[in-house]
Chain A
Amino acid sequence: MGQTLVEKILARHTAGQIRVGDIVSVKVDRLLINDYVGEMIFSKLDEMGCQKILCPERIITNTDHNLPAFNVKAADKYVLFKEKSKQYGFKNIEVGEHGIGHQIMCERFVHPHEVVVATDSHATMYAGLGAFSCGITTSDAIQILLTGECWFRVPQSVRIRVKGRLQSGVTAKDLSLALLKVFPPEAYIYSAVEVVGEAIRDLSVDGRLVIANLMAESGAKCAVFEADDKTYDSLRWQGEREYLSSDEDAQYAYDTEFDASVLEPMLAYPDAVINVKPIGEALGKPLDQVFIGSCTNGRLEDLLQAAEILKDRHVAEGVRLIVTPASQKIALEAVQNGCMEILMKAGAMILTSSCASCAGNGPGLIGRGERCLSTTNRNFKGRMGSKSAEIYLGSAYTAAASAVTGKITDPRIFLKGDHHESDH
């Protein structure tokens, strides 16, 4: 019987054979520790009397949830991260090269066919570069620090073959929302969701990262993508290029085709990410805030989409448009290519790279009774601020179009001609 791509990657990182359902110990190539649970990990290491880490060069530490520190607690956390990273020899991401941890990992530390994990759910994103990746817990992180390995249950694979080409104004975000609903919920839980096909090859690497990121919301263990020349080009890969894919006779618990060419702009409606429907039912709903950012959709492709609509236009009166590039590197690129000027002239407030309001504990929160359209990845009650606020999730195109009109708007009314996002 053939192997799926995820089985091939895991097999390279374990000593013995692997079978679906087995629990195996897997060599971890990289681990990101973020500020959400970092303190717990460091205090546990102290408690265990740990003096030395097995492979400190594989460990990256990053603070992104409260950046820059806006209270003493957050400031103290930075002190702790700096001290502990120095003590153990971890790579701590400094201010100036800062950004959302998952984005930094994809820019600098993730390579195809590696096993890369982080202490945060949206680590599924690294699959967009052809890696095996998922979120892990505090104890898992300690196992990696002490042994270089982590236990995993070998997941069953499910596959979505995406055919066709996305229409103008329809993005990887719309596709990623739609892909959460292709199978019944139980098909995703604890599965490796392999996303392949011509529409995926057609997507930019930025776009693939969106799908891999949002797949965390399906309950999947991980997303799985093939690395191709676009992947290697984006990494400025110098070495030999390896192209791995699932065997033709590999087994899938669920396997289906999805036609991207008929897809419309999609939204996740309040108050659940899987409450996905076409934009139609929400059109015209007045907005108080529009947020473009996060590890899901704060990349250059998103900022360019927003600028395409906001060029020579202005945000509607009474609406706050907040834009947070996912990393300092992206912010700089957006300054250099003129994108930032367009956004600022249109009335956007630009924040330095961080998780910002996405996780509900950074700047840009929404208040009582407000409605927000956001490019982020979660819309539970209270996720971005007040529990009485409503959050809709959509693409950067939809966000920018809605900021201009002040209400939820189909971005296609602002876009003319046969445009494709992969043309950027």
Chain B
Amino acid sequence: MNPIIKGKCWCGYDSMTVYEIIPESHWTMDRMDPEKMSDWVLETVLPEAVENPGYFKNQGYSVIVAGKDFGCGSKSVEHPMAALKGAGIQLVLAESVSRYSYRNAINLGLPVITCPGIMNKMNTGDMIEADLHKGYLINQTTGEQIQIPPLSEFAEEILKAGGLLEYIITLGKDKSR
């Protein structure tokens, strides 16, 4: 993972559930296909996305900005965060994050940062540049500079490896081989 992330934001809202990120009917419980699932991201949230596969993905967003309790719904499944990654999302900034979605995002190599107050500083379509290691962000559209909490050391290690399983393998922690 490059700690510098640049791209276009999509702004969500408070209490975005995992079901809204991608409807449960697209969670394939035998194995995950992030590419395929990404067609249905926000299908029930964006009117234009209904029966229009790939709508969200094709808008070219790289960053999700969300309100409180992002990814709530208390589901352990990894599909919603995998689908976001599949749709080109490289970073989630949220007022607060539900614990399963936090775990799943980090485990899949998608950085999630809790930044109280972020919703007031961003609009959909804004271009940003963030340095996750140093903990700052520039909203290039408004010119505002924003402090964000840097990634924890452990999270950064996992993200650097590309996800939890890759991290385990890289570190040779996999004692079973």
A interface residues with partner B (beta carbon < 8 Å)? 22-24, 36-37, 39-40, 43-44, 48, 50-54, 119-121, 134-140, 142-143, 145-147, 151, 153, 185-186, 189-190, 216-217, 219, 221
Is A138 a contact of B76 with CB atoms below 8 Å? yes
| A221 to B97 Cα, complex, angstroms | 12
B177 contacts which chain A residues (CB < 8 A)?
A: 50-52
Q: Which residue of B lies closest to A39 (CB)?
A: B30
Is A190 a contact of B99 with CB atoms below 8 Å? yes
Is A143 a contact of B168 with CB atoms below 8 Å? yes
| A260 to B104 Cα, complex, angstroms | 37
Stretch touching chain A among B38-46, B58-66, B67-75, B122-130: B67-75
Q: In the complex, what's the smallest C-beta–C-beta distance from A12 to chain B, in angstroms?
A: 20
> Are A136 and B103 also in contact (CB < 8 A) when A40-B29, A50-B176, A186-B96 are?
yes
Q: Which residue of B lies closest to A38 (CB)?
A: B29
DSSP class of B's interface residues: helix, strand, loop or mixed? loop
| A24 to B154 Cα, complex, angstroms | 8
The 23 listed contacts between A and B (C-beta, < 8 Å) are A36-B29, A40-B29, A40-B78, A44-B31, A48-B169, A51-B176, A53-B176, A54-B176, A121-B100, A135-B100, A137-B107, A139-B78, A139-B108, A139-B164, A140-B164, A142-B165, A143-B165, A147-B175, A189-B96, A189-B99, A190-B96, A190-B99, A219-B74
Is A137 a contact of B68 with CB atoms below 8 Å? no
> Are A189 and B100 also in contact (CB < 8 A) when A52-B176, A54-B175 are?
no
- Over the window 93-112 of chain B, the binary record of Cβ atoms lying under 8 Å from chain A Cβ atoms (1 yes, 0 no) is 00011111011100110000
Q: Which residue of B lies closest to A88 (CB)?
A: B176
| A33 to B47 Cα, complex, angstroms | 38
B107 contacts which chain A residues (CB < 8 A)?
A: 137, 139-140
Closest 5 interchain pairs by CB?
A23-B154, A139-B107, A52-B176, A139-B164, A121-B74
Q: In the complex, what's the smallest C-beta–C-beta distance from A89 to chain B, in angstroms?
A: 12
B99 contacts which chain A residues (CB < 8 A)?
A: 134, 189-190, 219, 221
Is A135 a contact of B76 with CB atoms below 8 Å? yes
> Are A137 and B69 also in contact (CB < 8 A) when A50-B176, A147-B173, A151-B154 are?
no
| A416 to B40 Cα, complex, angstroms | 56
Cross-chain contact of B32 among A40, A134, A145, A189 (Cβ < 8 A): A40
Interface presence of B155 (CB below 8 A): yes
DSSP class of A's interface residues: helix, strand, loop or mixed? mixed
Cross-chain contact of A143 among B69, B97, B154, B164 (Cβ < 8 A): B164
Question: How many A-B pairs fall under 8 Å by CB?
Answer: 106
Q: In the complex, what's the smallest C-beta–C-beta distance from A133 to chain B, in angstroms?
A: 13
B169 contacts which chain A residues (CB < 8 A)?
A: 48
Is B77 a contact of A37 with CB atoms below 8 Å? yes
Number of chain B residues whose Cβ lies closer than 8 Å to a Cβ of chain A: 37
Is A136 a contact of B76 with CB atoms below 8 Å? yes
Is A147 a contact of B74 with CB atoms below 8 Å? no
Is A43 a contact of B163 with CB atoms below 8 Å? no
Q: Which residue of A lies closest to B72 (CB)?
A: A219
| A350 to B150 Cα, complex, angstroms | 54
Interface presence of B152 (CB below 8 A): yes
| A137 to B107 Cα, complex, angstroms | 9
Is A37 a contact of B29 with CB atoms below 8 Å? yes
Cross-chain contact of B76 among A23, A37, A43, A190 (Cβ < 8 A): A37
| A54 to B173 Cα, complex, angstroms | 11
B96 contacts which chain A residues (CB < 8 A)?
A: 186, 189-190
Q: In the complex, what's the smallest C-beta–C-beta distance from B15 to chain A, in angstroms?
A: 9
B residues 133-171 touching A (CB-CB < 8 Å):
152-155, 158, 163-165, 168-169
Is B168 a contact of A146 with CB atoms below 8 Å? yes
Is A147 a contact of B76 with CB atoms below 8 Å? no
Q: In the complex, what's the smallest C-beta–C-beta distance from A357 to chain B, in angstroms?
A: 17
| Residue among B99, B155, B169 having the largest count of chain A Cβ atoms under 10 Å | B99
Besides A23-B153, A51-B177, A142-B164, 19 other CB < 8 A contacts? Answer: A24-B154, A40-B78, A43-B30, A43-B31, A51-B176, A54-B176, A135-B100, A136-B76, A137-B76, A137-B107, A139-B78, A140-B103, A146-B175, A147-B173, A151-B164, A185-B68, A186-B68, A189-B69, A189-B99
B30 contacts which chain A residues (CB < 8 A)?
A: 39-40, 43
Q: Which residue of A lies closest to B24 (CB)?
A: A382
Cross-chain contact of B165 among A53, A136, A139, A151 (Cβ < 8 A): A139
A217 contacts which chain B residues (CB < 8 A)?
A: 74
A54 contacts which chain B residues (CB < 8 A)?
A: 175-176
